[in-house]
Structure 1
Amino acid sequence: MTPEILPTRAVYGPGQSVAIEVRALSAPARLVVRRLGEMVITRPVEHAGIVELGELPFGGYSVELGDLRTAVEVTADPRSVLRYGFVVDYRPRRDLSAVRDNLRRLHLTGVQFYDWAYRHADLLGGGEQYDDALGQPVSLATVRDLVDACHDVGAEALGYAAVYAVGPQEWAKWEHDALLTGGGTPYGLGDFLFLVDPAAPDWLEHFRADLADAVTSVGFDGFHLDQYGYPKRAHRPDDGLVDVAESFCRMIEGVREQLPHSRLVFNNVNDFPTWASAHTPQDAVYIEVWKPQLELGHLAQVVTRARAEAEGKPVVIAAYQHVYDKAEAAEADRAAALTMATLYSHGATHLLAGEADRVLVDPYYVRNHIVEEPTADLLRRYYDFAVAHGELLFPASVTDVTASFAGDYNDDIDVHYGDADVTQVAAAGTVWRRITQDGSGRYVLHLINLVGQDDTAWDEPRAAPGDPGPATLRMRRMGPDLPRIRWADPDRQHHLVDVDLSVDGDYLSATLPAPHLWQLVFIDPFPHTSRGA
């Protein structure tokens, strides 16, 4: 067995005792638990097994045992964040132990059960064992076992359901609800599926009942409600005009009425229609991005818009890394790392990893990519980092203050490099700088290293990062006490460490090490003031 430490759950709720599983310990070592870099627990570990830590205050924690690393989150509301994964393999009697491990390893709080159903318009019509609409074998016993596996580690199981798709076999029953082009042709997905008005009363009644039956029969905690991004407007065979955004919203409201306690996640394809659906009674704002949103800056804009509409819901971006199918693993890993850095630093999580060892490279999740060991290590580092620093990244209270604090006019907080320019937007060859403030008045400086890159595409092979050299951070003092400044990096320094400060009148400065791909700098201007985290 490979040496490893894993939390016993993907996330811990109120009153739950935190525990760490230690595997294949070669020699006694000291377990260290930190919150935002501060040590909160340390204890010797003599042998492999379960180390009980008891109840911990709400927050994210880094955990280390010698060279082994993991993270832990304790939250008052496990649905306040969605670290989203996926499963696609429902063959009879498959071994699920590696899936359970990966849910814990990457701290996945929600799992999309992609294409588990018999047919798009008849979820449970295949009996206990069947081939899905594209010929993949499905055993409902395996689906239920996977649901149980999620529950065993504190994750929620979300069944995939297309909200308006009907296959050829069922089309005659539903074509009166068709969404039609201007010329009268039904919208569809090739000749494989046809689209209906998702809010048509008879369709919605059927769809809601199908979902409710799946909760009863399979045990799902909720549903991933999918669409394809089109049409925006259409007409029906009865000549009724359909604003599809409005229909989606009525559909979500109808499903919520049917399933008041289920976790619902609707897919806003290319941001359509986030401006409307974000205000419906669902549990996340989820966006699948496509052309023309090809640059890192586009991802930042999408997340910023989504958070502005989200009303406190977590934001998840599905940005499929096709790059793994066309580039060397190291080049693809750098692309994925920059994508995650962009999303995390702007307050969103990334649907990327799932099963036991896969990442998404295609919208048909069955066509996924088996990761190599360096990719598995990268995913673990970045997912651990997001959990351990989540309270600085994801709360709705975190807001962008870059334009108010940085630059010569403001002169409050900024950084400078001897060998690279600093920019407020993602630009090739620069260090991309962003400053946020949380609800208690603390600041985070995000530094994403684009030195050495020829462009900022998020799904293209990325060169090895250039070296901008160390940075000089300059900050205006905000009171008589000195601030506390610490930095961390998912690739080079997994927990926050302090930097030395130099004072010059009303200003202070600090030297930061060169960023690798993403460096997080945590600035507490009033470290000796008592307040909540």
Structure 2
Amino acid sequence: MSESELIEPGMAERLELLPARTLFPPEQPVLIEVRGGCPPGAVLTVSHLGERLTGCKAGRGLADVGRLPAGGYGVELSDRDGSVLARTAVQVAADPRSVLRYGFVVDYRPDRDLAAVTDNLRRLHLTAVQFYDWAYRHADLVGGGELYDDALGQPVSLGTVRSLIEACHEVGSSALGYAAVYAVGRREWAEWEHDALLTPSGAPYALADFLFIVDPAAADWIGHLAGDLSASVAEVGFDGFHLDQYGYPKRAQRADGTAVDVARSFVTTIERVREALPGSRLVFNNVNDFPTWAAAAAPQDAVYIEVWPPHVGLEHLAQVVTRARAEAAGKPVVIAAYQHVYDSAPAESADRATALTMATLYSHGGTHLLCGEADRILIDPYYVRNHTAEPSTAALLRRWYDFLVEHDELLTAPGITDVTGSYAGSYNDDIDVSYTQTQTPVGHLAAPGTVWRRITQAGDRHVMHLINLAGQGDTLWDAPRDVPTDVGAGTLKIRRAGSAPPRVRVADPDRHPRLIDVEVTLDGDFAHARLPAPHLWQLVLIDPSRNTHL
């Protein structure tokens, strides 16, 4: 990507840092676009887990900070006095499929502008994009020619779809086409009715009397689906597919009386699609965690779960992610949790709900399908019915997505283990925190009025996550949230592992996004550190000693 492609005439002068790619391979230099009014003498610095590594002079345009090893990094632009003017983050990964920060697009009108879409992909580091409802029909993906209306009347230009795919590739993102694995519309139903999954009363299972459901593993249907997907790759250029389902039925009879375990059929479907498209990136939707226990091990590239009741509390999100990571065998875990709250609440209280949702998912090792297009967030399973993010929401998302990328190896990396029950509490007395000034309770379960504490082990380090639920009347993730109560400074107590004092650093996506050291004092076998008051989520990194190498 050239500088002329990144800098547009008449660009707004607001100072902003944008990585050239959503994810960088180790063999390529990391390029950062400095957009807007950059003052003379400004410097870009790159840090890894709070430690400054490298820097370069910066001006308007592209800055090359060199090649970096695999990992997440914070990037700051500072003036001559050292004041931070703008921030972003970058991630370097050898295997792009090991990372999934998922976004979406829904607008395929002819000649639409693409620049704002790619800006948003870069701004939020979205490594893959779901092309929702791009196809002609659910059972005939590419049969509509170059211009058509989709099944619900939205205009589609395949030229625009191809241009969006190219735009994704330019910034390092994968383009995944949406495809339901067992849905047939009315016009095609006569051809597939013999593969129907039937209710006990003999009617076909359906979605809103609009789409009818077939056994996804029926031999003729799965051959058709695999062929349609292959044709979509050849004719449109997708990198893979988002394979959707609706969460029901779980067991049913086919029209010929054959009993069907739909979980097994889904696994067969994924296997057959993988055989037909060995190089494609595949993401299957485990609706409400069905059937994660079976599909997670199938030959796909992520564990993706769309949550619905009874998964209504932050604690339920935590449980879903924890189970998914246990089944994922190192694959990234993504949760689709639609923030309907923006339809009914002011942006500031809805933003707090979104922040607590992200805090829960990120701290448990998952990511969130929420953002897409140029400025949209998801509030509904029909992605065309989305919400335009207000400036406060856009700023929140930028801070929190930067935080996720910068601290990836402490959050979503494979191998991170929950050790809360083994380290915290009076019996263990190894690592814990208290808020004596306000007497705010601390607990290992999400509960209103508490600081929710979780401890993980990442390599030789421990990471404590502190989610502030003080001031909240419940733990619902899709409900307006009140201003969090100030719980005051925390006292961290650590059982020492040796003679050297531990090193303690803290970060907060809203208050101090880069890890900073806090003072540690020694008291016999224990060390103590005073933690800043958490806002909504605080990350505490504990190294066994100050001599631990990064």
Tell me the TM-score range normalised by the shorter chain: over 0.9
Q: Aligned partners of 1:188 and 1:288: how far apart in 2? A: 19
Contact 2:26 2:68 in 1 (8 A): no
Q: Aligned partners of 2:91 and 2:215: how far apart in 1? A: 41
Q: Aligned partners of 2:55 and 2:450: how far apart in 1? A: 40
Partner residue of 1:275 out of 253, 275, 293: 293
**Residue number in structure 2 paired with 1:491:** 510
Give the CA deviation at 1:14: 2.7
The answer on 1:138 being equivalent to 2:162 is no
The answer on 1:427 being equivalent to 2:447 is yes
Q: Aligned partners of 1:180 and 1:441: how far apart in 2? A: 53
The answer on 1:64 being equivalent to 2:92 is no
Q: Which digits, 9 at most, give the CA deviation of each residue in 1:11-69, with x for residues without a partner? A: 00130110100011241222121100000112332x30100112101100011113211
**Residue number in structure 2 paired with 1:117:** 135
Report 1:101-500 matches (<5 A). Answer: 101-418=119-436, 419=438, 420-438=440-458, 440-500=459-519
TM-score when normalising by structure 1: 0.98
Contact 2:340 2:379 in 1 (8 A): yes
Give the CA deviation at 1:130: 0.2
**Residue number in structure 1 paired with 2:9:** none
Partner residue of 1:17 out of 15, 21, 29: 29
Structure 2 unmatched ranges of 5 or more: 1-11, 78-83
Q: Aligned partners of 1:98 and 1:332: how far apart in 2? A: 24
**Residue number in structure 2 paired with 1:517:** 536
**Residue number in structure 1 paired with 2:80:** none
Contact 2:312 2:478 in 1 (8 A): yes
Q: Aligned partners of 2:223 and 2:297: how far apart in 1? A: 22
Q: How many residues align?
A: 529
Q: Aligned partners of 1:183 and 1:144: how far apart in 2? A: 44
Q: Aligned partners of 2:293 and 2:443: how far apart in 1? A: 29
Q: Which digits, 9 at most, give the CA deviation of each residue in 1:339-383, with x for residues without a partner? A: 000000000000000000000000000000000111000000000
The answer on 1:37 being equivalent to 2:50 is yes
Contact 2:252 2:260 in 1 (8 A): yes
Q: Aligned partners of 2:294 and 2:411: how far apart in 1? A: 25
Give the CA deviation at 1:526: 3.4
**Residue number in structure 1 paired with 2:61:** 49
Contact 2:56 2:65 in 1 (8 A): no
CA RMSD of aligned residues (A): 0.8
Q: Aligned partners of 2:542 and 2:180: how far apart in 1? A: 44
Give the CA deviation at 1:441: 1.7
The answer on 1:505 being equivalent to 2:518 is no
Give the CA deviation at 1:527: 3.8
What secondary structure is seen at the aligned counterpart in 2 of 1:67?
A: strand
Give the CA deviation at 1:529: 4.2
Q: Aligned partners of 1:235 and 1:144: how far apart in 2? A: 40
Q: Aligned partners of 1:86 and 1:389: how far apart in 2? A: 23
The amino acid of 1:431's aligned partner reads V
- Percent of aligned positions that are identical: 68
Structure 1 unmatched ranges of 5 or more: none
Q: Aligned partners of 1:426 and 1:529: how far apart in 2? A: 32
Q: Aligned partners of 2:198 and 2:546: how far apart in 1? A: 61
What secondary structure is seen at the aligned counterpart in 2 of 1:297?
A: helix
Q: Aligned partners of 1:450 and 1:431: how far apart in 2? A: 6
Give the CA deviation at 1:480: 1.7
Q: Aligned partners of 2:275 and 2:500: how far apart in 1? A: 53
What secondary structure is seen at the aligned counterpart in 2 of 1:444?
A: strand
Moved over 3 A (4+): none
Give the CA deviation at 1:78: 1.1
The amino acid of 1:430's aligned partner reads T
The amino acid of 1:472's aligned partner reads T
Q: Aligned partners of 2:186 and 2:389: how far apart in 1? A: 36
What secondary structure is seen at the aligned counterpart in 2 of 1:54?
A: coil
Q: Aligned partners of 1:26 and 1:268: how far apart in 2? A: 46
What secondary structure is seen at the aligned counterpart in 2 of 1:332?
A: helix
Q: Aligned partners of 2:26 and 2:36: how far apart in 1? A: 30
Q: Which digits, 9 at most, give the CA deviation of each residue in 1:127-158, with x for residues without a partner? A: 00000000000000000000000000000000
Q: Which digits, 9 at most, give the CA deviation of each residue in 1:212-244, with x for residues without a partner? A: 010111110000000000000000111000000
Q: Which digits, 9 at most, give the CA deviation of each residue in 1:185-223, with x for residues without a partner? A: 100012100000000000000000000010111110000
